[in-house]
Structure 1
């Protein structure tokens, strides 16, 4: 404890900020906050030290100890209050991201409030764009609580500063991604931010993100919008330092300031940004040739193709002169379908090119306005929409001369539609017309009030009413002289109902205000210098030249400024000595100098000069330097230039000053544009990074799916090979079975015997049978005959049908011994019967046994198949023929002797 009290209190603040002991850091933050609160300005050494060492604040706002972090955030707020814009711009790159990641999600309410106040102060000291740029990447943080806290901080920022001070487009573009977040707290904070945007922008914000939301999300937001729809327009609660200074300067004219703020609100650009598309390459190559076709259908078709090509949000710049010439030519087409399609193409091209279309205005506007003579309303509407798109790319001053020319057209329809077009231009323009343009418009519209058609008179009254709304009462009173009360009442109606975007503000009052404010002590000198009211303006021009001559030879050197009025620039470097000479020049507008001017100076300001004796030397150089030099000339000129330098400017110097101011304004606008462009590019970079991450994720997913498909393909190939192998095995098995079946069929059916052998064996059988009694072997003969009859008696019936009768008849003949060989069935049956009869001692076979045998024969025959049956049928036919031949040769039909 002793070491801590002795060493830590003696350490410098930067060393205590980075100390490893959190208590030391905490005490250091508290001490620094006290030092910042006591500092007089940002030039204080303590403040300058931390402005130069800006990187040290990153550790302060992100301290690992929550108690120390709380005090560190308070110290940052104290530092920003005294450091101003210099401290904010030097430190914000180190602190904003850390504040969003570690300060806004803090569990301590005091630390969270200090973090939010630090963000507010960063915006207040300079501007909001850099802060929003630093916060946008935090919306993609991996921790939902950090995203939710950042969204809540953005809501508070827009609520405090408004969408006019803080650009809303970068945040609006990220809302779609935020609404797709998985965490419900993030989506709830996104809804709160969207409602805050709606309070400022209403439905104008929807084109930027609304179409990408889900229908359910849109319905939920519409319900939230209904609650704040009828609330009064919000106002900015906190002002930037620049706005605070401007408000102090413009305290004398609060009304003008409010008007400017209202106009700036209307100018907020919420148009979505699209990528330009090169449409020239997609326009048909034969565009010009087809437009020159004699068939209206061909002309209409090519314009339809061009219209499809031009239907894109943004068109890339290029040489569209030939395309516009084709559109202008189509305006004279006899077919109204061609005219309407060409007008639609002009509208699309003008909207796609935007301001870049201005250079083509002169080539297309006149042909379109000439075609307004068409009485069909659809054609007039199409051309009117195209004219509106063309005007949006230009200014009123560029189109006004051409429009006014058509207000006196001989065709009443053209005159009427041109007048309506002029009314739309006046309502849409943001540029206030010049006095000459106001006069031209008013004169042309006044002539329209005398037209015979009431519609035309009403259109002229609307032009005057809309112009009156823009310019106000005083500029328009001169143009209403001579109009009767009825016409004035009609114009007043249109004036009350007109909605315009431009407002005329008189520029005469502002110049005298800055002159009167800094030269509060000068008006007495101005009044004293001219004895009459006329020499004062003449003296305003020559004051700059007399700076070189001053001290002793004031009288003789005074006439030189009249001959050299351009010497005012030489007086600026010698401000201390030149001031009295300028004042002297103001007192000498005439040719005479010396006694006349001092007398006037003494007589004119007696009450003001005599009352304050110590201040008399200050007034003397401003009133009568040329006639009455005082005893203390040197201290007087030192104070005089500071007061009177801005009031004694000549015409050349004033013009130069205006030029410098214009250059400063141009540079500031350029800087604003560059910052806006930088913001846009950074947002594009973030979008591209998100797209790249999405593409990488999609690529990884595709690679994994391809690998899975390859694995499935390998498995399918292996399954196919196994199935094919199985099929081959099955085929071989089928072939084997077929061969086995064929072998069985051949085994069960006896091979066909030679016909000669059959005849020979049959003859021998008959011989033996007939002669058996002679050789004493009657038993053998009778047995053979009996076997024949037995075969005939037990033979199965013919399978009914034609062609089987002869088969049965052949068996009925006792002398036929070849009947058993007619078919495999009969052969098998006879062999089976003979075997059974031999086994039973020559007895007959029972009917049951005969049926079983015939069944087995039928089964074997079925197994033989159709092929065996055909072969048997052929053999049977051949045998029948040969049997008949043998019968005829051997005389079987004759009875034996």
Structure 2
């Protein structure tokens, strides 16, 4: 039987991509053993996978399940021992394949190790990138993969909690999981929702509750009831950074106790709905006629306006915007005569303040004073709504912002306003998280002492409760100066409220030096005698000890508090000229220095008072050998405590300055952005104004053109009317002709005469009306010539008479016609046909004139 070929000599990248699955499986096992045996993260066994992270992508996607199982296990070993760098380089390549192929595997080992790898990725860095890679698995078409992804998210939240894992992207994906057709997917979605409820409680509901069916809501409520009985959840798995902090701070039991106490104090302040929800732009959803209804004289319209606003504002988080007009309208509603409008407006202010939080601070001054003035209302429902609005406004700001208005209304003449303001101040003192400043405490205490002298028992009890709550915040000792002048009965009442008060802000006293470190050096000085020249040093020790008898601390000091600060600058405390001047003459003591070498070790324990002043040379020579810090005396301990306190205050001030600088830069950037927006708006406005002016110019021009056309049409209409009148007169004159033969002869006899008479009659009519539309030069040649005064020429009357009697055959009938009727009757007899011809000519000319005018107007119009 042939032996199998040994592939262990091949490089790891070749073995990881080998076509034989056994070779790949053996490679995964080998690297897992190497990782487990590595001394630290810098071992060479990690280098190939840091240089080529893609090896793990092909490993976790191995087609052979046996090799894939070993690949997932070796990846876990790599993450466990390889450190954060390995996790950062590989998570973008391995998480998606694991979610698609490993979490839903049929082998339990693959599923368990894949989940462990995801937890290790979070442990080594943060959770957000891992969650971002896992969530796409919820969109898989295979229900089994979706259920496995939901299970993985449940385990991640269970191990690390919602303080490490951001629940917002998970909550957004929950409604889709609840709407799946597969029952296993819905069951895993229920488990995830219950796990999230353990951490978030009711704050999670606004994110997805409205998208669920009523039956699903009922089932979840049943599951939530079981969770409510459990205690507050705790993080079961720590991040690598948290583990390092725990190891570094594990020595101090007191510090751990303080940290645990702080954590317990922070546990109730879990993530609320405001932190989970996305800001909504409610200004776009407001009714368009809100301000009109709010200003209506009918109370029903005003009630409808605030009701509609209440529905719009009833969201967990509101996007900041221009609410100045809205808050002014709500503040005006506080003076409304209808209590229903006042109550609903107060509830709108409550929702707006809770939805905006800190952004509501700029609107506080607008609404707070009207609300405090309305506290005179005696109805409980109205008072509760006003109190809720005041509490929401306070939570969005601080006690320092509201204190001025509160103190002003505590002196109001109305008892109801004063009582409501007093209760509001008590609630503010209980819920504030910032300790008031000393001037603010003095103002509050002064107001409380004034309330103690009120005639109403409620006001006196309120004053005592205010003082007791302040005492709970700053402590009994700090409160004693503010209680001077009060009798024992009132002090007893204040003490009762002090013991029962519950506050969130407590003033931490400044650290003071403990008596134990100060007493130890004192005993050491008294118990040990100086070894060098004890008899000569005794008077020198007694003299300095008698000087600090009046010290406030009751501790010996030689040169005041500044002496220990100056001492480390030199090699010894005895190098001061004040000490070395008068003690230089003795020389016998200098001979005693060589026989006593071990004495410098005992010198620091004697302190300043136990140091011999008779041997400055000895101290100067012996102390620098092993002495670098100042001697641990009682004075130096106090100074160190003060120095530490000053350093802490300096660090706190430095951090505060940095925060202010960051805030300033943020505001500067916002101001610049607003300036840019303002500039763009100005440009848009200017462009719109110019466009409007251009349109107005065009409109004026069009109107002028229209007016000119109307005038022209009127003129033409009048002219046409005149022509009709002339035509009618001509028809009437034509009817006076005696016979048809005479009309025919007249028509054939003197056309020029008839034309001249018709034109003369029309022109005479026009002169009578005062309007001659055309000059004589603009008429047709025949008409213009017919109206001339000359008597000679072709169209002269004489030639016209001559032509009348001429027939077609050339015979002249002038004499005959002259004998038949008078010559003066010939023009009258021919007026009928000539008038029709004249009318036709004038009409054609008018039509041509109108067409010319239309063409000119159409060409000139813009």
TM-score band by shorter chain is 0.5 to 0.7
**1:538 equivalent in structure 2:** 562
Aligned pairs for 1:697-712 (under 5 A) are none
Aligned counterpart for 1:456 among listed residues 459, 462, 470: 459
Q: Which moved more, 1:406-415 or 1:442-451?
A: 442-451
Matches within 5 A, 1:47-196: 47-196=46-195
Aligned mates of 2:352, 2:145 — CA distance in 1:
45
User: SS of the residue aligned with 1:164?
Assistant: coil
1:276 corresponds to: 280
What's the counterpart of residue 235 of structure 1? 234
**Does the CA-based 8 Å contact 1:16-1:25 persist in structure 2?**
yes
Once the two structures are TM-superposed, the CA of residue 310 in structure 1 deviates from its matched residue by: 5.0
Residue of structure 1 equivalent to 2:410: 407
1:182 shift after superposition: 1.6
Post-superposition Cα deviations, 1:248-283, rounded to whole Å, max 9, x if no partner, equal 344321222112223443333231524523527956
Contact 2:571/2:620 (<8 A) preserved: no
Offset from partner CA, 1:730-756 (integer Å, 9 cap, x none) = xxxxxxxxxxxxxxxxxxxxxxxxxxx
Whole-angstrom CA distance in 1 between matches of 2:349 and 2:48: 62
**Cα shift at 1:39:** 2.2
CA distance in structure 2 between the partners assigned to 1:589 and 1:196 by the alignment: 71
CA distance in 1 between counterparts of 2:575 and 2:343 reads: 70
- The change in CA–CA distance for 1:230 and 1:656 in structure 2 (over 3 A counts) is closer
Shift, 1:417, TM fit? 0.6
Q: Give the corresponding residue for 1:371.
A: 374
Kindly report which structure 2 residues correspond to 1:823-834, keeping only aligned pairs within 5 A, or say none. none
Contact 2:200/2:272 (<8 A) preserved: no
Aligned to 2:424: 421
Give the one of 242, 251, 259 matched to 1:257. 259
Task: Report deviation, 1:28.
Answer: 1.7
Q: CA deviation at 1:209?
A: 2.4
Note if contact 2:435-2:473 (Cα within 8 Å) is conserved in structure 1: yes
Instruction: Decide whether the 8 Å contact of 1:541 with 1:650 is kept in 2.
Output: no
Alpha-carbon distance in structure 1 between the residues aligned to 2:420 and 2:299: 26
Mapped to 2, the partners of 1:113 and 1:289 lie a distance apart of: 63
Distance change in 2, residues 1:337/1:110 (3 Å): closer
Query: How has the CA–CA distance of structure 1 residues 28 and 201 changed in structure 2, closer, same or farther, with 3 Å as cutoff?
Result: same
Of 505, 508, 513, the residue aligned with 1:506 is 508
Q: 1:289 to 1:34 in 2, by over 3 A?
A: closer
Q: Is the 8 Å Cα contact of residues 454 and 460 (structure 2) preserved in structure 1?
A: yes
Deviation at 1:358, TM superposition (A): 0.7
Equivalents in 2 of 1:222, 1:306: separation in Å? 30
RMSD: 4.8
Quote the Cα distance in structure 2 between the aligned partners of 1:151 and 1:243. 26
CA spacing shift, 1:661–1:66, aligned 2, 3 Å: farther
Task: Tell me, in whole angstroms, the C-alpha distance in 2 between the residues paired with 1:508 and 1:187.
Answer: 56
Deviation readout 1:851-882 (Å, 9 max, x if unpaired): xxxxxxxxxxxxxxxxxxxxxxxxxxxxxxxx
Structure 2 distance, partners of 1:239, 1:46, is: 27
Q: Which has the larger radius of gyration?
A: 1
**Residues of 2 paired with 1:378 and 1:210: CA distance?**
29
CA–CA distance in structure 2, aligned partners of residues 256 and 368 of structure 1: 41
Partner in structure 2 of residue 246 of structure 1? 245
| Deviation at residue 494 of structure 1 after TM alignment | 5.5
The one-character-per-residue Cα deviations of 1:760-796 (angstroms, maximum 9, x if unpaired) are xxxxxxxxxxxxxxxxxxxxxxxxxxxxxxxxxxxxx
Q: What does residue 824 of structure 1 align with?
A: none
Q: Within 1, Cα distance between the matches of 2:158 and 2:240?
A: 17
In 2: Cα distance, 1:443 partner to 1:220 partner: 55
C-alpha distance 335-188 of structure 1, shift in aligned 2 (>3 A): closer
- Superposed CA offset, 1:57-105 (max 9, x none): 2222232222222222222222222232222222222222222222222
- Aligned partners of 1:587 and 1:597 also within 8 Å: no
2:365 maps to which residue? 362
Q: CA deviation at 1:359?
A: 0.8
- In 1, the alpha carbon distance for the partners of 2:659 and 2:583 equals 42
Gaps of 5+ in 1: 517-523, 525-529, 544-581, 613-623, 638-645, 671-897
Once the two structures are superposed, residues 409-435 of structure 1 have per-residue CA deviations (whole angstroms, 9 ceiling, x without a partner) of 332211211121123333443434345
Cα deviation code 1:466-499 (max 9, x no counterpart): 5555556665566567777776676666567666
The answer as to 2:410 corresponding to 1:388 is: no
Q: CA deviation at 1:298?
A: 7.0
Residue number in structure 2 paired with 1:321: 324
> How far apart, CA to CA, are the structure 1 residues paired with 2:648 and 2:575?
19
How many correspondences in the alignment? 592
How is 1:630-669 mapped onto 2 (pairs within 5 angstroms)?
Answer: none
Distance in 2 between residues matched to 1:609 and 1:52, nearest whole Å: 57
Counterparts of residues 421-440 of structure 1 (less than 5 Å): 421-440=424-443
- Indicate how the Cα distance of structure 1 residues 373 and 134 shifts in structure 2: closer, same or farther if over 3 A, else same: same
The CA deviation string for residues 814-863 of structure 1, in whole angstroms up to 9 with x for no partner, is: xxxxxxxxxxxxxxxxxxxxxxxxxxxxxxxxxxxxxxxxxxxxxxxxxx
Distance 1:215 1:132 in 2: 29
Q: Deviations over 1:671-693 (max 9, x none)?
A: xxxxxxxxxxxxxxxxxxxxxxx
Distance 2:209 2:487 in 1: 51
Look up the SS of the partner of 2:161 in the other structure.
Answer: helix
For residues 477-556 of structure 1, the aligned pairs below 5 Å read 500=503, 502-504=504-506, 506=508, 508=510, 533=557, 538=562
Is contact 2:198-2:232 (8 Å) kept? yes
* Alignment correspondent of 1:17: 16
SS at match of 1:387: helix
Q: What does the per-residue CA deviation read over 1:565-606, in whole Å, with 9 as the maximum and x for residues that have no partner?
A: xxxxxxxxxxxxxxxxx754896997769899999xx9xx97
CA contact (8 A) 2:572 2:620 kept: no
Normalising by structure 2, what TM-score? Answer: 0.58
Q: Helix, strand or coil: the match of 2:413?
A: coil
- Residues 534 and 224 of structure 1, relative CA distance in 2, 3 Å threshold: farther
Aligned equivalents of 1:413, 1:283: Cα separation in 2: 35
SS at match of 1:319: coil
The alignment partner of 1:88 has SS state of: helix
- Matched-pair contact (CA < 8 Å) for 2:429–2:470: yes
Deviation per CA, 1:633-671: give whole Å up to 9, x if none.
9xx99xxxxxxxx9999999988866776689899999x
CA distance in 1, matches of 2:72, 2:362: 55
Cross-structure match for 1:519: none
2:768 aligned partner = none
Q: Which runs of 5+ in 2 are unaligned?
A: 518-523, 525-543, 546-555, 605-616, 630-639, 665-862
Do the aligned partners of 1:160 and 1:238 also contact (CA within 8 Å) in 2? yes
Q: Cα–Cα, structure 1 residues 408 and 191, in superposed 2: closer, same or farther, change >3 Å?
A: same
The alpha-carbon deviation at position 242 of structure 1 amounts to: 1.9
| 325 and 201 in structure 1: CA distance in 2 versus 1, 3 angstrom threshold | closer
1: CA distance, partners of 2:498 / 2:346 = 31
Asked if structure 1 preserves the Cα contact closer than 8 Å seen for 2:294 and 2:306, the reply is no
Distance 1:414 1:191, change over 3 A: same
Q: How has the CA–CA distance of structure 1 residues 385 and 540 changed in structure 2, closer, same or farther, with 3 Å as cutoff?
A: farther
Residues in 2 aligned to 1:79 and 1:216: alpha-carbon distance in whole angstroms? 46
- Out of 267-276 and 478-487, give the one that drifted further: 478-487
**DSSP 3-state at the match of 1:163:** coil
**Range 658-667 or range 28-37, more displaced:** 658-667
Deviation of 1:393 after TM superposition, in Å, equals 2.0
Report the equivalent of 2:764.
none
C-alpha distance in 1 between matches for 2:20 and 2:375 = 83
TM-score, L = length of structure 1: 0.56
Cα separation, partners in 2 of 1:473 and 1:55, compared to 1, 3 Å: farther
